[in-house]
Structure 1
Amino acid sequence: MKQFMIGQYGHFDSNKFEKDFRNDFHGIEACLFTTHEDCLNLMSAARDRKFQIGVHYPFRAHPSRLRDAPFLSSDETIREEAFQHVQEELDYLTTVQPEYVLFHYPKPVILDDRVNWDQWRFTDPSEYVMESNYTFDELVERSEALFKWLTEKSKQYHFVPVLEFDALNKYIYETDYLEKLLEQYPTIKLCLDTGRLFIQEKIDPYFDALKIIRKYAKYAHSIHLWNVQVKDGIRNNRYPVLPHLSPEEGWAPIEAYLTIIREENSDVRIMFEHNSSLVSEEQLEQCYTWVDHILNKQADPRFHS
């Protein structure tokens, strides 16, 4: 379980930390902390329990800003502000010394015009643009500028830049430009989110989550792992992954996802981005044990009927 991580969002929650964290876990991913005291508490726990800190941008909550950095905006002023805001955050994080800093990609999200996106959650219309209004060449050009900038900052501030997939369109799943960039700028890694991938497959008839995982898992630094049920709508968001949650009942095929990930990139970090309050402590332990057995190919009769 040395590759496992938990999340802390909004503040450092000592109760969640004691319930969810295990001494052999790799670390904690932090996001949207509201006070400097929370930062100090996280750093103190990391020193005492000897774990790594990862950051999901932004580390500090800014009520006047959108959460994600619109690095790829068509508006040059908005792009420049995004880079400046990230620069300010990296300066602040010098005391935290995170192992990695994660950003959503692409932002704004490029949405396939053929798909009904009503069930995809956005907090603001500026978070997305329709594919018909954003060309492939624009994406490639701005992505390369982003990769170059993040590579330079990673050397300066000593962190791994991680790009977490948001909703994806054919520019990413039908071309190889992103693979070429990841090969050209190997410092930059990806994050695959199991819940997002599953939901997109359910609402987008052109999208295949298993193919995306097979294509990009080798470039992943971390997996955001959680389950969700899509059956007459989206239910049970951020549910911990458990062996009895059947795809036949509308749950994501987590074992199939993790099997591909094991084959392509067995050392990837697993960040449990679930709501652990939805299950008992016994079920939470079962979640951790089940995932560990899948990733390490260990047969366990408890997980087979």
Structure 2
Amino acid sequence: MTSPAVSFEVFPPKSVDAAFRLWDTAQSLAPLAPRFFSVTYGAGGSTRDLTHDAAHVLHRTSGLPVSAHLTCVGATAAETIETAEKFHAAGVTDIVALRGDPADGAERFTPHPEGFANSVELIEALALMDKFTIRVGAYPQSHPDAVSQHANIQYLKRKFDAGADEAITQFFFEAEDFLRFRDQCAAAGIDKPIVPGILPITNWTSARAFAARCGAKIPEWMEEAYRAAQRDDRTALLSTALCTELCSTLMDEGVDALHFYTLNRADLTRDICRALGVTPQTALSNVA
């Protein structure tokens, strides 16, 4: 079996300790020759400058492509495009274009009066700049705001029609969720790459809370497995086994690229990649 292409998501640090953890994560994972690192964007644009700085430094120190998140939340259209221009000036030519989560704990997304109303408008504007590879989000278990799975897939198609090059999915825990979604997208006429997003579970309690916020369904068998593993102090072993099995099943079904949500912790992601045959290729140098 050919090893998959991989990419890794990190988030910008908000403290000195977090900065060291991010660079340690990059140094550990960069030798696996990822297609790119993606750097997230805080709710309401709260980490806009941190995202820019982290993306710039990651690109400069690793020499690897960096895909910076950019959202519609909390900024005018002009400010959002200005941010995109700053990314490009820093050598970051890949963007993950997202609507973004509601700001300030609001239940629903409300566009800025002078901002982009949704991700499709943002994608269209970025495509007109003709400077970026544009990635977008996709939701195998449907976006929480979508009225149906059909509407969810049609909206993804609109994002591709607007100029997106590739989609990365929300994480999921059963391969069938992604495979069914992939088939539905193909039936809808989507022929651009859709890369499954994978969450290696380093902390079960945190992962459950993360899944609840994102609308990712946790199967009952998985709840039971972690309850048993916690009693026996074997959660790390279970996480490695389950995530490796999930990725292997996807690869058996023709998936050739995987995107890992690292949460700025490299060990489990690195172990899973190596189990899948992704071995170190290059060294990361000049990391501050």
TM-score range, shorter chain: 0.5 to 0.7
Higher strand share: 1
- How far does residue 92 in structure 1 lie from its aligned partner after superposition? 0.8
> Are 1:171 and 2:147 an aligned pair?
yes
- Which residue of 1 is the match for residue 62 of structure 2? 46
1:77-96 pair list within 5 angstroms: 81-96=75-90
1:165/1:193 contact within 8 Å kept: yes
Higher relative contact order (CA 8 A, sep 6+): 2
Aligned length: 222
Aligned to 1:100: 94
Counterpart of 1:139 in structure 2 is none
Deviations 1:262-304 (A, max 9, x none): 64652x4x33212464x8x4x54431123458xxxxxxxxxxx
Q: CA deviation at 1:230?
A: 11
- Flag structure 1 segments of 5+ consecutive residues without an equivalent: 58-67, 71-77, 110-121, 130-141, 202-207, 239-245, 294-305
The structure-2 alpha-carbon separation of the partners of 1:28 and 1:292, relative to structure 1 and needing over 3 Å to count, comes to: same
| Aligned residues of 2:8 and 2:260 also touching (Cα < 8 A) | yes
- Please tell me whether the aligned partners of residues 182 and 219 of structure 1 are also in contact (alpha carbons under 8 angstroms): no
1:159-203 Cα distance to aligned partner (Å, 9 max, x none): 122222474355351345325425634534322021xx45xx9xx
For the Cα contact (< 8 Å) 2:37–2:66, is it kept in 1? yes
1:190 alignment partner, one of 156, 167, 170: 167
- Return the alpha-carbon distance in structure 1 between the equivalents of residues 248 and 57 of structure 2: 33
Report the TM-score, using the length of structure 1 for normalisation: 0.54
Task: Tell me how far 1:221 sits from its aligned partner.
Answer: 5.1
In structure 2, how many angstroms separate the alpha carbons of the residues matched to 1:260 and 1:177?
Answer: 24
Alpha carbons of structure 1 residues 226 and 127: separation in structure 2 relative to 1, 3 Å: same
Q: Does the CA-based 8 Å contact 2:167-2:195 persist in structure 1?
A: yes
Higher share of residues assigned helix: 2
Letter in 1 for 2:271: Q
CA RMSD of the aligned region, Å?
A: 4.3
Percentage of pairs with the same residue: 8
Is 1:124 the counterpart of 2:105? The answer is yes
In the aligned structure 2, how far is the partner of 1:190 from the partner of 1:41? 25
CA–CA distance in structure 2, aligned partners of residues 232 and 28 of structure 1: 26
Say yes or no: does 1:273 pair with 2:268. Answer: no
Q: Confirm whether residue 26 of structure 1 aligns to residue 20 of structure 2.
A: no
Aligned positions of 1:3-18 closer than 5 A = 3-11=5-13, 13-18=22-27
Could you list the runs of 5+ residues in structure 2 that have no partner in the other structure? 14-18, 41-46, 111-116, 212-220, 227-237, 279-288
TM-score of the pair, normalised by structure 2: 0.57
